[in-house]
Amino acid sequence: MESVAYIELESKFEDLVKIRRDLHMYPELSFKEERTPRIIANFLRECGLEVRTGVGGRGVTALLRGAKPGKTVALRADFDALPIQDEKAVPYKSKIPGVMHACGHDVHTASLLGTAYALSKVKEHLQGNVLFIHQFAEEVIPGGAKAMIADGCLNDVDVIYGAHVSSALPVGQVHFKEKFMMAAGDKFKILIKGKGGHGSMPHLAVDPVFIGSQIVMNIQQITSSRINTIDPVVITVCSFEGSSSFNIIPDQVILSGTVRTFSAEARDLAKKHIRKIAEAVCSGAEAECEMTYEYGYPSVWNNPEEANRVQRIAEMVVGKENVSEGPLLMAMEDFSYYLKEKPGAFFNVGGMNSDIQAVYPHHHPKFDVDEMSILLTGKMFISLVFNYFSSQDQKIGD
């Protein structure tokens, strides 16, 4: 029945592209999604699924009950956009100033809708249930996954899978990863309070710009000398806010940045040493500092058995030569919350195609992907569902 589901998915491809492009033209920022979840819910209702809206806030779930009893497989896609101006020269360019789908969440949504449509056409052959999770606000901490889980979206779920299209991976290829795949992501802010003054008389001031610069430089040694070098860590100061005048020393500046880690130990050490450095530098310069540290998403850890299933399915869908183990990624993803609750796996699907200029990195103003990735992701999901049900049936038989 997988082949029949594939045919149903392919028959819907033009409609899925239209949906993707519509979402691309009318993107919505995290926690502000209104139109997008309505479109998703209406499509899923037309597929005859049991739809629930407002899950965790703005999420949508839809349950497809198979004709035969069995386990429940969850499939997840996110649907929020980013505060970036779309600079692509394409007919489906964003019509919302300063907002665009620069990470592929519109493609994820179309892929999961196509999967729901295809599987609804063969539900009499399903040996269990499929829950489709359409998640809001992946891009902004605290994210939507945590709230949807608290609202019961994983109740009765046995396994969960998610996919992310990648403009760094050629279309037609799939990356899987066992265990750690993506980093935990935290953010910090350091307020440095000095004493302002005139740029010509720095000796009468306590210069927070100079102090902040020392902190930035000293923070760089944390990863090389304070944390085990075989434990990947990234600490980056991304913002330095101070005076806007060339000749005025401000009273205060604000540093803000991000920490990316995999282990809990590295995460705690990074936080500890950032604080110690900031306090020590400020104390030595007779300044004050206030630091806030916000824990973001945990690291994405794929269940080895389910990651291996993704590998096997990918080799069947795109061919063994197009499947490989992906690298550790320092990006973060709140799919990690689902994986803390249920076994499952997250994987990357290729969307790069230089012929259509789909080569720009994620979060770039010209980001785009090959829409054939919609079909590829859908086929991966379809086969994962059938394979999981089949494996459970074999266990019962054993």
Dihedral, CA of residue 377, residue 381, residue 387 and residue 390, to nearest 10: -160
CB 100 within 8 A of CB 27: yes
Give the C-alpha separation, 261 to 182, whole Å: 9
Whether the bond between 202 and the residue before it is cis, its omega within 30 degrees of 0, is no
Q: Which of 80, 106, 158, 186 is catalytic?
A: 80
Query: Two tokens at 64?
Result: 């497809």
Give the C-alpha separation, 271 to 235, whole Å: 10
Tokens 């086969």 belong to residue: 383
CB 133 within 8 A of CB 152: no
In this structure, the number of other CB atoms found within 10 A of the CB of residue 131 comes to 23
Segment (H or E) for 325: strand 323-325
Q: Which of 138, 158, 207, 333 is catalytic?
A: 138
Q: Is 138 a catalytic residue?
A: yes
Query: Would you call 10 exposed, middle or buried from its count of C-beta atoms within 10 A (0-12, 13-18, 19+)?
Result: middle
Give the C-alpha separation, 43 to 21, whole Å: 15
Give the C-alpha separation, 190 to 238, whole Å: 12
The one-letter amino acid at 187: K
CB 347 within 8 A of CB 174: yes
Residues involved in catalysis? 80, 138
